[in-house]
Amino acid sequence: MAISGQLHVAIIGAGLIGQTHSLMLKQIADRTEQSVRVAAVADLDGAAAAKLAERWPGAKAVSSARQILDDAAIDAVWICTPTAMHREVCIAAARAGKHIFCEKPLAMSAAEAAEMSATIRAASVISQVGLVLRFSPVYTVMKSLISDPGAGKVIAATMRDDQDFPIRGVHASGWRNDPKLTAGGTLVEHSVHDVDLFTWMFGPVRRLYCRTRNLAGALGVEDFATTDLEFESGTSAHLVSIWHQMIGRPSNRRCEIFAENLFLASDFDMDGTIMIQRGANASQETMSTADVTGRFREIVLDERPHLAPFLDTLGVAYALEDANFLAALRGDSQVYPQFDAGVRVQRLVEAAYTSARSGAPLDVNN
Ligand SMILES: NC(=O)c1ccc[n+]([C@@H]2O[C@H](COP(=O)([O-])OP(=O)(O)OC[C@H]3O[C@@H](n4cnc5c(N)ncnc54)[C@H](O)[C@@H]3O)[C@@H](O)[C@H]2O)c1
């Protein structure tokens, strides 16, 4: 049932991404006459919960998710704990009747993710998964460029996705090198976004082949994965995922897409330029950041007009995913991406790990 009036939400897990969502919710509140309020923050680390709650006057800080789930005044929760805790918190939240925004990857395994999805369905709560690249200006525009019939069939795509091993620097966390707390390494914890992006752009996968390596020595947590994906459409994609040791290098992606009459490349995964080469004479142009932003606005206004007030927010993709979930709670929008998109991509990544263990390509059905 759609919710009216001010939405009261809670953040569970006050680390990097919990703080990011708090910032986004603040921007949304400020643009919508305080239509949403973070009313509680839970973190096992009580000081972290208190620090984040301070940003929301009157918000309570607690050290266990249970205290939030028992609070009838809370409409929805953002699950931002380390991956290993998603399942337990998500299932408890669904059973408590809370609507759920859950960060990616959904769980430690595809089976766990499917169990969470089934519990959510049984509880009839609204749910969305944090596959934020679906709101990236650069990738949304690239997707629209390849959907132009003049581009021809997409032949191939490549993605290099790299990040400092996220246990220090901007992504400092105490769990990403612990196989009991992370679903794996760079492929599932970071490139799950890329695999989802590829299926969003190219459709279902029919076959994949993955190899992983571990250079940093975190047992069971790969820091390099190379994955070939064949799509039912005939498109091939190659994904290279790296967690490196260069703390000073910001997280970075390079994506290239080759269609029959169009070549696209970008070194930016959110805001930035796109290099475009097209037509028989292969004329080359660079779409400026301003032009990418302008085209992205047109696409969003056409597909999701309810997001118009948030297009000039900081960290626009994160603000848009949060605003979309809030709009779904009010009955003004569909959730996007649906929770089950998170289940499907987790199955694909798990299939990739199976391929890596066996050393052979694997047919998949997603
Ligand atoms: N979508 C994205 O771009 C993105 C970016 C970063 C992280 N993530 C995902 O978000 C999740 C959290 O990542 P992070 O970087 O914020 O981690 P983090 O280590 O910075 O923060 C996690 C917080 O959760 C708390 N916590 C642990 N167990 C808890 C429990 N049972 N109940 C309440 N709090 C608990 C920890 O004390 C910590 O403060 C992970 O699943 C990660 O993959 C997504």
pLDDT in tens, 142-196: 999 999 999 999 999 999 999 999 998 888 888 999 999 999 999 999 999 999 9
Are both 206 and 79 inside the same structural domain?
Answer: no
**Of ligand 1's atoms, which has the minimum distance to the CA of residue 171?**
15
**Of ligand 1's atoms, which has the minimum distance to the CA of residue 48?**
39
Residues with Cβ within 8 Å of residue 216, at least 6 apart in sequence: 165, 177, 223, 243, 245
Are both 210 and 261 inside the same structural domain?
Answer: yes
Closest Cα to atom 18, ligand 1: which residue? 15
**Of ligand 1's atoms, which has the minimum distance to the CA of residue 130?**
1
**Of ligand 1's atoms, which has the minimum distance to the CA of residue 12?**
33
* CA 254–ligand 1 middle distance (angstroms): 26
Final residue of a structural domain among 132, 149, 174: 132
Kindly state whether residue 154 falls inside one of the protein's structural domains: yes
- 18 vs 46: CA distance, rounded Å: 14
Our answer on whether the CB atom of 130 is closer than 6 Å to any ligand 1 atom is yes
Are both 167 and 121 inside the same structural domain?
Answer: no
Percentage of the residues of the chain whose pLDDT score is greater than 90? 93
Our answer on whether the CB atom of 337 is closer than 6 Å to any ligand 1 atom is no
Say if strands 252-259 and 262-266 run parallel, antiparallel, or are unpaired. Answer: antiparallel
> Ligand 1 pocket check: which of 44, 194, 196 to mutate, most ligand atoms within 8 Å of Cβ?
44
* CA 98–ligand 1 middle distance (angstroms): 19
* CA 279–ligand 1 middle distance (angstroms): 45
For residue 246, pLDDT over 70 is answered with yes
For residue 3, pLDDT over 90 is answered with no
**If you average pLDDT over residues 219-238, what whole number do you get?**
97
* Domain count along the chain: 2
**Of ligand 1's atoms, which has the minimum distance to the CA of residue 132?**
1
* CA 85–ligand 1 middle distance (angstroms): 9
Are both 42 and 94 inside the same structural domain?
Answer: yes
pLDDT of amino acid 2: 82
pLDDT of amino acid 1: 67
Kindly state whether residue 217 falls inside one of the protein's structural domains: yes
pLDDT in tens, 276-295: 999 898 889 999 999 999 99
**If you average pLDDT over residues 230-234, what whole number do you get?**
97
Our answer on whether the CB atom of 52 is closer than 6 Å to any ligand 1 atom is no
Are both 87 and 166 inside the same structural domain?
Answer: no
pLDDT of amino acid 331: 95
Kindly state whether residue 324 falls inside one of the protein's structural domains: no
CATH number at residue 52: 3.40.50.720
Q: Is the N-terminal amide bond of 337 cis, ω within 30° of 0? A: yes
SS (H, E, C) the chain: CCCCCCEEEEEECCCHHHHHHHHHHHHHHHHCCCCEEEEEEECCCHHHHHHHHCCCCCCEEECCHHHHHCCCCCCEEEECCCHHHHHHHHHHHHHCCCEEEECCCCCCCHHHHHHHHHHHHHHCCCEEECCHHHHCHHHHHHHHHHCCHHHCCEEEEEEEEEEECCCCHHHCCCCCCCCCCCCCCHHHHCCHHHHHHHHHHHCCEEEEEEEEECCCCCCCCCCEEEEEEEECCCCEEEEEEEEECCCCCCCEEEEEEEECCEEEEECCCCCCCEEEEECCCCEEEEECHHHHHHHHHHHHHHHCHHHHHHCCCCCHHHHHHHHHHHHHHCCCCCCCCEHHHHHHHHHHHHHHHHHHHHCCCEECCC
- Contact status, residue 72 vs residue 49, Cβ threshold 8 Å: no
Percentage of the residues of the chain whose pLDDT score is greater than 70? 100
- Contact status, residue 225 vs residue 353, Cβ threshold 8 Å: no
> Ligand 1 pocket check: which of 17, 24, 241 to mutate, most ligand atoms within 8 Å of Cβ?
17
Q: Give the position of tokens 């967690």.
A: 243
Structural domain boundaries enclosing 306: 133-310+347-358
Are both 163 and 289 inside the same structural domain?
Answer: yes
pLDDT band at 111 (very low <50, low <70, confident <90, very high): very high
Our answer on whether the CB atom of 269 is closer than 6 Å to any ligand 1 atom is no
Please provide the average confidence, as pLDDT, over all residues in the chain: 96
Kindly state whether residue 335 falls inside one of the protein's structural domains: no
Are both 16 and 32 inside the same structural domain?
Answer: yes
pLDDT in tens, 253-277: 999 999 999 999 999 999 999 999 9
* CA 229–ligand 1 middle distance (angstroms): 29
Kindly state whether residue 328 falls inside one of the protein's structural domains: no
> Ligand 1 pocket check: which of 51, 81, 112, 320 to mutate, most ligand atoms within 8 Å of Cβ?
81
Final residue of a structural domain among 89, 109, 132: 132
Final residue of a structural domain among 105, 132, 159: 132
- 70 vs 63: CA distance, rounded Å: 13
Are both 62 and 139 inside the same structural domain?
Answer: no
Are both 141 and 272 inside the same structural domain?
Answer: yes
* CA 175–ligand 1 middle distance (angstroms): 9
Kindly state whether residue 339 falls inside one of the protein's structural domains: no
pLDDT band at 4 (very low <50, low <70, confident <90, very high): confident
Closest Cα to atom 3, ligand 1: which residue? 132
Q: pTM value?
A: 0.97
Our answer on whether the CB atom of 63 is closer than 6 Å to any ligand 1 atom is no
Are both 258 and 115 inside the same structural domain?
Answer: no
Kindly state whether residue 192 falls inside one of the protein's structural domains: yes
Are both 159 and 275 inside the same structural domain?
Answer: yes
Are both 63 and 203 inside the same structural domain?
Answer: no
Kindly state whether residue 322 falls inside one of the protein's structural domains: no
